[in-house]
Amino acid sequence: MESEPTADLIRAQLRRLRLHAELSQEEFGKLVHFSGSQISAIELGQRPFDRLFLRRADEVLTTGGLLTSLLRLAERYSQPNWFRPWLEAERQAQQLWCYHPTLVPGLLQTENYARAVIRADDMLSDDEVERRLAVRMDRQSVLSRQQPPKLIAVVEEAVLRRADEGFRGLMVQQIAHLLECVDQPNVSIHVIPAEVSTHVGLAGPFTLALGNDSGWVGHLENQLSGTTIDKDGELTILIARWESVRSEALPHNQSALLMKEVMTSWS
């Protein structure tokens, strides 16, 4: 979960903060449940660090979250080039409109749901699954910032009901999270009922972001990558398709009642 050269910066800051706290490697190691030799190996770049270690280090060294913030920065800039423009648009958005035909949108996923979705790709190592999970969870912080965007999400009833016996507990947790989200003034979730058999959104997921400059940016996902949309003609089409998808969904209160019905039917 490291990214050079930011990893070197993290290790250097770790050593600087430890010395400033007047802790030997052995003393610091005991506080974070590592041996002194393990701390030495981390500081020398001979042993990798992870998010849990940095979180403990931040607590022990009272850094205000500096080390984990540096890790988030490293993860952000380790993203593929095609994804970075969308991440920037998402962070600066005043409004976000999200639709996905087969999944709960990423900004609304619980950690357990997101991990299960990411782990479905059996070509990913456990470390890569956790790295992608950390990035996804970090992206959700946009919804709790001081002036968060207005998020409107449309989900399919079929997505909420897709669960075998082993997955139902996870989905109960996920739907409960959605209901908590709609209690926030900046989040609206609307459900397209199962009786709506076809509509234009089924062609694929998309998200639209309205920036501080009052300009729209779109994002399309596929199996291998994604595309950021910024051309006026294409944005006009996406906005029209959003309006069509949104019109198929239930109003706010009816959507919440449907989500509660699905959740209680499994509890």
Please provide residue 134's backbone torsions phi and psi, each rounded to the nearest 5 degrees: -60, -40
How far is C-alpha 213 from the chain's CA centre?
24
Which pLDDT does position 266 carry in this prediction? 75
Q: What is the length of the chain?
A: 267
Per-residue pLDDT of the chain (267 residues; tens, 9 = 90+): 444 667 788 889 999 999 999 999 999 999 999 999 999 989 988 887 877 888 899 999 999 988 888 887 766 666 656 667 777 888 889 999 999 999 999 999 999 999 999 999 988 888 888 888 888 888 898 898 889 999 999 999 999 998 777 788 899 999 999 999 999 999 999 999 999 989 999 999 999 999 877 789 999 988 777 888 999 999 999 999 999 999 999 999 999 999 999 988 876
Q: DSSP 3-state assignment of 70?
A: helix
**Exposed / middle / buried, residue 183 (Cβ in 10 Å: 0-12, 13-18, 19+):** exposed
pTM metric for this prediction: 0.73
Residue 215 to residue 230: CA distance in whole angstroms:
9
Of 186, 223, 227, 192, the residue nearest 207 (C-alpha): 227
Tell me which DSSP letter residue 201 carries: G
Residue 113 to residue 167: CA distance in whole angstroms:
9
